[in-house]
Amino acid sequence: MADRGAKAALYDALVQSAKALASGRRAELVDVLAQGERSVEELAQEIGQSVANTSQHLQRLLRSGLVQSRREGTRVYYSLSSPVVGDLWRTMRRAAQEHVAGLEQLAADYLGDRSTLRTITREDLRARLRDGDVVVLDVRPAAEYAAGHIRGAVSIPIRDLRSRLDEIPEGADVVAYCRGPYCVYADEAVRLLTRTGVTAARLEDGFPEWAKARLPVGRR
């Protein structure tokens, strides 16, 4: 008969990844790193934490094997250790959507009312791109666009959109996208564009889901 202690040790090891993600801030870090490699300083700014606190969270993820790091001069850069980590995060997110009470209200409190926002599916956007009758805006930070983006998309980070509205062709039909279903950047872009008279919609989810579906991706 198999040793009970060995079985317990095995199952304890199997939950190490889940334990490493048992922090909202570490989940945020994985969500950002699903877009591409970032420095500690950039990650700290993204999750609203000090560099020291962010480094502690990253070390926890590193010890669990969920992320990897490299040094370039005085800077340390982190990335997900494999696509499986992104899959794990998406699965946890789906489980929460189906089983965590009150999640829908928490999302609404953060994202605002989405009922008036037009949305478009990945397949519909792919068809529109083939037809060439849509302008696709990547409103994530420029570093994330450079790491990977929907092929044909134009990079206009959300913080720059208001000052760069004149770059959008007159009469264009625009689709904005960002990091995923809980990323607010695309919502903000659609609201701003709509107020200025531009026909705009948001992609149903984000770039990681587009890439996971093996749809056309560009890199710079």
Give per-residue pLDDT as tens, 104-128: 999 999 999 999 999 999 999 999 9
- Domain shared by 136 and 69, yes or no: no
Report pLDDT for 220.
Answer: 77
- Domain shared by 130 and 214, yes or no: yes
Domain presence at residue 104? no
Domain presence at residue 92? no
CATH number at residue 116: 3.40.250.10
| Structure confidence at residue 77 as a pLDDT band (50, 70, 90) | very high
| Enclosing domain of residue 17 | 4-87
Active site residue 183: no
On the question of pLDDT at 129 being above 80, the answer is yes
Segment 212-219 shows an average pLDDT of 94
- Domain shared by 21 and 118, yes or no: no
| Structure confidence at residue 4 as a pLDDT band (50, 70, 90) | confident
- Domain shared by 117 and 205, yes or no: yes
- Domain shared by 114 and 74, yes or no: no
Last residue of a domain, one of 53, 87, 121: 87
What domain count does the chain have?
Answer: 2
Domain presence at residue 34? yes
On the question of pLDDT at 217 being above 80, the answer is yes
- Domain shared by 160 and 78, yes or no: no
CATH number at residue 81: 1.10.10.10
Report pLDDT for 1.
Answer: 59
| Structure confidence at residue 3 as a pLDDT band (50, 70, 90) | confident
- Domain shared by 138 and 66, yes or no: no
pLDDT of 145-187, one tens digit each?
A: 999 999 999 999 999 999 999 999 999 999 999 999 999 999 9
- Domain shared by 60 and 132, yes or no: no
- Domain shared by 120 and 45, yes or no: no
Domain presence at residue 100? no
pLDDT of 36-75, one tens digit each?
A: 999 999 999 999 999 999 999 999 999 999 999 999 999 9
Domain presence at residue 28? yes
Domain presence at residue 105? no
Written in H, E and C, the secondary structure of the chain is CCCHHHHHHHHHHHCHHHHHCCCHHHHHHHHHHCCCCEEHHHHHHHHCCCHHHHHHHHHHHHHCCCEEEEEECCEEEEEECCHHHHHHHHHHHHHHHHHCCCHHHHHHHHHCCCCCCCEECHHHHHHHHHHCCCEEEECCCHHHHHHCEECCCEECCHHHHHHHHHHCCCCCEEEEEECCCCCCHHHHHHHHHHHCCCEEEEEEEEHHHHHHCCCCEECC
- Domain shared by 114 and 209, yes or no: yes
Q: Which of 66, 137, 178, 198 does the annotation list as catalytic?
A: 178
pTM of the complete model beyond 0.75: yes
Report pLDDT for 50.
Answer: 97
Domain presence at residue 162? yes
